Amino acid sequence: MSLSLNNSTFRMLTASALFIGALFIIFLVGGSQSVGTTSEDDDLYIIQTVSVQPVKYQSGYFYERNFVGQVEAKQSTKIGFEVGGQLKAVHFDEGKLVEAGDILAQLDTSRLNSRMNEAKANVLKAKSDAKLAESTYNRIHHAYQANAVTEKEDEEALEKRNMTSATVALAQAQRQSIAVDIKKSELISPFSGTIIQRIADEGTVLGVGQVVLEIQQNSDYNIRVGVTNEIVQNLAVGDHKKINIAGQLHDAIITAIIPFRNQARSIDVIFTLKQNSIVVRPGDMVKLSLSYEVNQRGFWVPFTAIKEGNRGLWSLYVATQNRGQLKADSRTVQMHYTKNDRVYVSGEVKDGERLIVEGAAKLVPEQAVRLVESSND
């Protein structure tokens, strides 16, 4: 009986010791997890030093857009012969300057020259036949007047005279046609400029209109820039704008606004430079910066002041008094325009409130803050 009691007591003591040990372990584990951690509620009591500046509302902002264009020659054309034939000579290579009226290239005219000689002979023969027919008609007509020949013979002589005169006219026309073809076998420069591409070489058999050379005018360049519809509404012929060419701004004048959209669905605006002394070349890229005013009440904030929230919303913090303590109050805003390191926004902010511009990334709503006035406007 004594031994049984001792065993029962021993089991009770063992169970109690295990229970107390388990509680001690749970206490140690729970204590170790809480050491060095802070909750969001704890953050509210950490005073963050932030920079602020007053909110300044304005009626709108200037929306700036950059557009890219290029320099182009007022006259640029690919030229070829109006007649077909074998290319005999090209007198100017790429990069050479030419004047209006210069002979740029020639076709082989040996066949045309042979046809011209034949045509000249035909003209001489036709004139000879016409002269004989004229003499015959005069003789027969006098005889007819003297009743020496019949009326039919007189009419036949007259008809032959007329036919030979028509043959002369036809032969002369054929000779003139060959002369035109010979003249068109010379490719004439339509204006002064530079040969920028040679497409055909000597010996090539060319079809009618096949391109031989490309020529481009050397001066009085245009600048073509495609702009959007909302921008073009604020432009007019005669306006002066700044064009950026190779990093330098130059004065330009709008000379035309094309009244239809180009392939890129933008509207072409044509400029000319006020001074042609600068070195530009067709194909040079240019940049045009244009702006227009958007009537939207709002204010500017630096990027450092704005935070992206849930569902694409944006927010910022203003410093407000809450029970005698300065705290960060979160406000939802709408972004309208970004420029450099600033954002134009509107939203649940009052004019003159103290906007937190630096340190906002470390804040949570209702966190205590200490203010430092920002030097940024």
Span 308-334, pLDDT tens digits: 877 778 999 999 987 778 899 999 999
Residue 289: its H or E element: strand 285-294
d(CA 358, CA 374): 8
Q: Note the CATH number of domain 65-74+217-293.
A: 2.40.30.170
User: Domain spanning 40-60+297-373: which CATH class is it, in words?
Assistant: mainly beta
* 225 against 371, higher pLDDT: 225
Q: Report CA-CA distances (Å) from 25 to 20, 36, 37, 159.
A: 9, 19, 20, 140
Q: Note the CATH number of domain 109-184.
A: 1.10.287
Tens of pLDDT, residues 213-269: 999 887 778 899 999 888 888 899 999 999 998 888 889 999 999 988 888 889 999
- Fold match between domain 65-74+217-293 and domain 109-184: no
State the pTM of this model.
Answer: 0.55
Give residue 262's Cα distance to chain centre.
10
Residue 90 near residue 198, CB atoms below 8 Å: yes
Quick one: pLDDT at residue 333? 93
- Domain residue spans in the chain? 40-60+297-373, 65-74+217-293, 109-184
* 76 against 180, higher pLDDT: 180
7 band by pLDDT with thresholds 50, 70 and 90:
low
Tens of pLDDT, residues 153-187: 999 999 999 999 999 999 999 999 999 999 999 99
First to last CA, the chain: 94
272: which strand partners?
253
Residue 102 tokens, joined: 């210069």
Which sign, positive or negative, has the C-alpha torsion 78, 81, 84, 90? negative
Q: Quick one: which of 215, 211, 235 has its CA closest to 225?
A: 235
